[in-house]
Amino acid sequence: MASAAAEQTTSGAPAPLASMASLASLASASERLRPAAVEVRGAYKNYGDTVVLAGIDMTVPRGTIYGLLGASGCGKTTLLSCIAGRRHLDAGSARVFGEEPAPGPRLGFMPQELALYVEFSIAETLYYFGTLVGMRPGAIEERTDRLLELLHLPCADTRVAKLSGGQQRRVSFAAALLHDPELLVLDEPTVGVDPVLRHSIWDYLVEITKTGDKSVIITTHYIEESKQAHTVGLMRGGRLLAEDAPDRLTARFACGSLERVFLLLSSRQLASAPPPPSDEQHARALAPPPPAPDDCPDAPAQSSTPAAATAASPASARRRTCACPEWSSYRLRALLWKNFLWISRNIPVMLFIFAQPVLQIMFFCLAIGQDPTGLSIAVVNHELNSSYLCSEHIHHQCQLEYLSCRYLHHLNNSKSIVQENYSNISNAVSAVKSGHVWGAIYFTENYTESLLQRINFSDTSYFELNDWDNSEIKVWMDQSNQHIAQTIQYDLVLTYQAFLADVHMDCKWNLKLAEAPIKFETPVYGSIRPVFTDFACPGTILMIIYFLAVTLTAGVILTEKTEGLLDRALMTGLLVPEILVSHVVTQFAVICGQTSLVLLFSFAVFNIPHHGPMFAVIVLTLLQGLSGMCFGLLISSACDNIMMATYLGMGSFHPLVILSGVIWPIEGMHSILRYISYCLPLTYPTESLRCLLLRGWGVDSPTVYGGFLVSVAWITIYVITTLVILRFKKL
Ligand SMILES: Nc1ncnc2c1ncn2[C@@H]1O[C@H](COP(=O)(O)OP(=O)(O)OP(=O)(O)O)[C@@H](O)[C@H]1O
């Protein structure tokens, strides 16, 4: 009741309140006569089912400060991003200088987040944002000096990371003011700023709007500081409760302060419980955005050359025409400069880029593929009296005694096997069971005699069953580890062949009788005893390059996205394709460095065989890096946060390693999985690189050029998918 009465005083009641109100109304009337810098009508915006803007009407007269006040979460930032052209309204309209909102140099935007590269100095930060809007270096330096003084900032060479929170916010503010834009959109610029400085920031805003050609929209939680604004909009729950000059508002509602007005209007809104949107309103909110007056609503309005952009003085205030987006070499140069500076300043990133690939290939070559060593086996030799040692019975020439010792002497040449003597079989087998040794071998007490009979009697009818048994070396193996078991078996069999050949030679017997009637000639490709490293290395090289490119690309873009850096850059009128191209160029340079390091270490340091044309090897590896980078772009366009991207990246890593034939031949896979494997981005390229390196084939071989074609096909798929996602979702 009281407040309602007080409200009526504006129309007729006595006294100072009425005269104050009439003065304020005169001022505000003159402001209302000015052309509008920003006009929002019936604005609706939803996030899913949540209505964030529920029919907002807002007018910012040119050459004025508009203070947008409201509780946290009421939709201020959303409204500002619609005015700045980064988001579209679901219904209603927004006009900036009479046109569709679009990012560009006429706008100076200070986001709520810090949105600064903390690795840069103040001067570098301002240089980057200045160059993006087309300012010349001289002009940037001049403005930097002026802003450092105005905002009480330390020396321009100071790194942003070393500044206090308040100082960092001021650098962010300076970046928005730098190019002297016609419309300043400031999202809480005074948070964390001391009262004295807050005062001087407001004084500065009042000063720049005096000429009438600069307009400011500012949000703040410090309601009282917005008394200096020409107009204040009080916002709550997606609606504008009131919009007027501060004095007029306090007079109209007979409150001593804006804060009280806000509290009063909020309690009224609460009491009257905001009506649910009418059917018509709801339909409007859910309707597609109204068509733009021309064909290219997203076009940033900006000058196409740096000179023109710097010259775009507010005084000229000419109406821009909505031009289709134009590429600009100066923006691309600014982005590339920023990317390389950021990488060079970021030591963990530098380590990740260059030490990771080297470490990974080193670990692979040192840890994988070598024969296991130090494999203990238990030896039970009943040919010997327990008091004798085998070393006393190693005979050479054709002295055919204690042949078990001669065999064991040969077995000493094995790099893998270590012999441990046991007195009986049960102890030896127990040692296998308890994991002390990998196997037990046993010679019977008349091993030599039986073996000689086996060798010399081709007519087996003279040979008793027992003699067959006694002539055999019996082995009990722990086969739980396939690779170790195979190494031991391989060494035992090879040693037997060497031992038998040795005896035949010494006794001048026919050596052919000691050999299996199968002869492996010099291999067509590869070595007599192939090494697993040679098989797995081609796939590993491609994996390293591919996944480092995925991680770095997605990591860098998503960091910029989540920290508001991308948004801030896009507000200057930057085009998404320019950002993508700058990342492609930067990443390609990084991939070239990583490829050189990985190939150098593989071939020059670890002697991985490489028989094919080196140029083709390099091109294929680079293509895989590009493929990984394009997958990284896809991830960063599809995901909104680093966590989601990590799940996607990690989720794709293991299936690719397992199914691409990197560690196990595809011929050994389940037949259905084989088809899946052939569809993956690394399968054909891995086989192609294997053929280049180990078989020395050229690019005219279908298997080799197939790898190149598949890499190019996957790059195309990733790029197209990224572009499709970006059509429906903003970066
Ligand atoms: N991208 C988004 N997706 C879904 N909901 C969102 C998104 N951005 C904002 N919102 C929601 O919209 C509402 C308004 O958010 P907005 O950031 O515009 O509020 P605000 O008034 O600026 O708040 P603050 O003063 O705390 O910054 C909030 O409830 C927020 O959770």
pLDDT digit string (tens) for 369-423? 888 999 999 999 999 876 667 877 677 788 888 999 999 999 999 999 999 999 9
**Strands 439-443 and 474-477, how do they pair?**
antiparallel
| Contact in structure between 560 and 114 (CB atoms under 8 Å) | no
Q: Please tell me the distance between residue 80's alpha carbon and the centre of ligand 1 in angstroms.
A: 11
Between β-strands 375-381 and 65-70, what pairing exists: parallel, antiparallel or unpaired?
unpaired
Neighbouring CB atoms inside 10 A of 420's CB total 13
Q: How confident is the model at residue 718 (pLDDT cuts 50, 70, 90)?
A: very high
In this structure, which residue's CA is closest to atom 22 in ligand 1?
77
492 DSSP β-pair partners? none
C-alpha 52 to ligand 1 mean position (Å): 7
Residue 304 pLDDT greater than 60, yes or no: no
Rounded to the nearest angstrom, the distance between the alpha carbon of 47 and the centre of ligand 1 is: 9
pLDDT digits (tens, 9 = 90+) for 587-617: 999 999 999 999 999 999 999 999 999 999 9
Distance CA 162, CA 220 (A): 26
Q: Which of 74, 218, 731 to mutate to test the pocket of ligand 1 (most atoms within 8 A of CB)?
A: 74
User: Hunting for tokens 């810098």 — which residue is that?
Assistant: 37
Q: What is the DSSP string of 300-321?
A: ----SSHHHHHH--TTT-PPPP
Residue 535 · residue 573 · CB < 8 Å: no
What is the distance, to the nearest Å, from the Cα of residue 583 to the centroid of all Cα atoms in its chain? Answer: 12
Contacts of 50 (CB under 8 A, 6+ apart): none
Q: Which residues pair with 378 in a beta bridge?
A: 420, 440
Q: What is the position in ligand 1's atom list of the atom closest to the CA of 79?
A: 18
Give the distance (Å) from ligand 1 centre to CA of residue 75: 6
356: which 2 tokens?
């990771």
If one counts every other C-beta atom within 10 angstroms of the C-beta of residue 179, the result is 25
Q: Which atom of ligand 1 is nearest to the CA of 112?
A: 27
Asked if residue 29 has pLDDT above 60, the reply is no
Three-state DSSP state, 56: strand
What's the 260 CA to ligand 1 centre distance in angstroms? 24
Q: Of 423-437, 451-465, 707-721, where does mean pLDDT reach its minimum?
A: 451-465
Ligand 1: residue whose CA is nearest its atom 8: 78
Ligand 1, atom 18, residue with closest C-alpha: 75
Lowest-confidence range among 154-163, 409-418, 525-534? 525-534
Q: How far apart are the first and last CA of the chain?
A: 51
Closest by Cα among 453, 484, 455 to 467 = 453
Residue-wise DSSP of 74-139? SSHHHHHHHHTTSS--SEEEEEETTB----STTEEEE-SS--S-TTSBHHHHHHHHHHHTT--HHH
Q: Which atom of ligand 1 is nearest to the CA of 221?
A: 25
238 CA: nearest ligand 1 atom: 14
CB 568 within 8 A of CB 115: yes
Average pLDDT of span 55-78: 91
Smallest CA separation from ligand 1 atom 30, residue:
73
44 and 91 in contact (C-beta within 8 Å)? yes
Helix (H, G, I), strand (E, B) or coil at 43: strand
* Dist. CA 78 → ligand 1 center (Å): 6
Residue whose C-alpha is closest to residue 344's, from 551, 593, 561, 549: 593
Residue nearest atom 7 in ligand 1 by C-alpha distance: 47
Where is pLDDT greater, at 194 or 178?
A: 178
State the distance from the centre of ligand 1 to the C-alpha of 322, rounded, in angstroms. Answer: 29
ipTM: 0.96
Residue 95 Cα to ligand 1 midpoint, Å, equals 22
Whether pLDDT at 619 is above 90: yes
Looking at 50-59, 429-438, 533-542, which range is the least confident one? 50-59
What is the structure's pLDDT at 457?
A: 60
pLDDT of residue 337 exceeding 80, the answer is yes
- Is 693 in contact with 531 (CB distance < 8 Å)? no
- Closest residue by CA, ligand 1 atom 9: 78
Q: Residue 179: pLDDT above 70?
A: yes
Q: For 198-226, how does the pLDDT look when each residue is reduced to its tens digit (9 = 90+)? A: 888 888 899 899 888 899 999 987 887 88
Lowest mean pLDDT among 145-159, 191-205, 682-696: 191-205
* Structure token digits, residue 71: 């509780």
User: Which one of 49, 51, 56, 76 would you pick to mutate in the ligand 1 pocket, going by the greatest count of ligand atoms within 8 A of its CB?
Assistant: 76
Sequence-distant (6+) residues with CB within 8 A of 271 are none
Q: What's the count of helices (H) and strands (E) in the chain, helices before strands?
A: 27, 13
The protein residue with its alpha carbon nearest to ligand 1, atom 5, reads 47
Report CA(217)–ligand 1 centroid distance (Å). Answer: 18
Report the percent of the chain where pLDDT is more than 70: 86
pLDDT of 537: 96
Q: What is the pLDDT of residue 674?
A: 94
Half-sphere exposure of 39 (CA within 13 A, CB side): 12
Residue 644: partners with Cβ closer than 8 Å, 6 or more residues away:
none
The best mutation among 68, 72, 77 to test binding of ligand 1, ranked by most ligand atoms within 8 Å of the C-beta, falls on: 77
Length of the chain counted residue by residue: 731
Section 510-530 average pLDDT: 88
Query: Residue 216: helix, strand or coil by DSSP?
Result: strand
- Better pLDDT: 512 or 393: 512
In this prediction, residues 554-578 reach a mean pLDDT of: 92
Among 64-73, 269-278, 303-312, 345-354, name the one with the lowest average pLDDT.
303-312
What is the pLDDT at residue 301?
Answer: 37
Residue 51 tokens read as: 């209505």
pLDDT for the residue numbered 159: 96
Q: Between β-strands 65-70 and 50-61, what pairing exists: parallel, antiparallel or unpaired?
A: unpaired
Checking if the pLDDT of 618 tops 70, the result is yes
* 631-653 pLDDT, tens digit each: 999 999 999 888 899 898 889 99
Give the Cα separation of 275 and 266 in Å (integer).
Answer: 14
Q: Report residues whose beta carbon is within 6 angstroms of any ligand 1 atom.
A: 47, 52, 70, 72-78, 112
Summarised one tens digit per residue, pLDDT across range 261-280 is: 888 888 887 777 554 454 45
List beta partners, residue 46.
51
Distance in Å, CA 76 to ligand 1 centroid: 8
- State residue 596's pLDDT score: 97
Look up residue 86 and give its DSSP letter: S
Q: Note the pLDDT tens digit of each residue in 671-686.
A: 999 999 999 999 999 9
Using alpha carbons, list the distances in angstroms from residue 1 to 6, 11, 397.
Answer: 9, 16, 124
CA distance 503 to 211: 109
pLDDT of residue 61: 92
State in Å: Cα 239 to ligand 1 middle: 14
How much distance in Å is there from the Cα of 222 to the middle of ligand 1?
19
Residue 633: per-residue pLDDT: 95
Share of the chain above pLDDT 90, in %: 61
Quick one: which atom of ligand 1 is closest to the CA of 235?
21
Q: Would you state the pLDDT for residue 312?
A: 37
Q: Are 41 and 93 in contact (CB under 8 A)?
A: yes
Pocket mutation for ligand 1, best pick of 49, 50, 218, 562 (most atoms within 8 Å of C-beta): 50
Confidence of residue 484 (pLDDT cuts 50, 70, 90): very high
- Worst-scoring range by mean pLDDT, 212-216, 464-468, 580-584? 464-468
Looking at residue 256, its pLDDT comes to: 82
State the distance from the centre of ligand 1 to the C-alpha of 237, rounded, in angstroms. Answer: 11
Instruction: Check if the beta carbon of residue 245 is closer than 8 Å to that of residue 226.
Output: no
Q: Record the pTM.
A: 0.81
> Residue 195 Cα, ligand 1 centroid: separation in angstroms?
27
Provide φ and ψ at 184, rounded to 5°.
-100, 125
Q: In the block, which residue shows the tokens 């309601």?
A: 223
Residue in 44, 46, 52 to alter for ligand 1 test, most ligand atoms within 8 A of Cβ: 52
Residue 526 backbone class (left: φ over 0; alpha: ψ -120 to 50; beta: rest): left
Please give the pLDDT value at position 79: 94
CA distance 617 to 40: 59
| Separation between Cα atoms, residue 707 and residue 711, nearest integer Å | 6
